[in-house]
Amino acid sequence: MHEMALTESLVEIIEEEGRKQGFARVRVVRLEIGALGCVDPEAVRFCFEAVARGAIVEGARLEIIAVPGEGWCLDCSRTVPVRERFGACPECGGYHVQVTAGEEMRVKELEVE
């Protein structure tokens, strides 16, 4: 389950931020998960519970924001919604679409105390 490794590095990033910014507790973690990133939000939630124990984020609420896939179609010269990686452009049916959003997982916001 690659979500475990992802969640571990996520918690490490937050701990690092805590050291830099000087907060000791996190109340809410808002996490963006891209629809095209092959990351299962439920698995992340499960792993987070386990990884958070004894860490700065212990007891924090995890809010997951699903980010829809988006791409730039070279033929249409516009941003189009993307349902799957390497999928066709919904406007022109072409395959010259570069994914611009929806592939990554990142911390959008932290509520700290």
Stretch that binds Zn ion, among 14-22, 46-54, 61-69, 74-82 (CB under 5 A): 74-82
Using rule CB under 5 A, residue 82 touches Zn ion: no
| Least distance (Å) between residue 74 CB and Zn ion | 8
Residue 2 is inside which H or E element, if any?
helix 2-21
d(CA 21, CA 59): 20
Judge residue 105's burial from the number of C-beta atoms within 10 Å of its C-beta, 0-12 exposed, 13-18 middle, 19 or more buried. buried
Residue 74 engages Zn ion in binding (rule: CB under 5 A): no
Footprint of Zn ion on 16-35 (CB under 5 A) = none
104 is a site residue for Zn ion (CB under 5 A): no
CB 109 within 8 A of CB 22: no
Using CB under 5 A, list all residues that contact Zn ion. 73, 75-76, 89, 91-92, 94
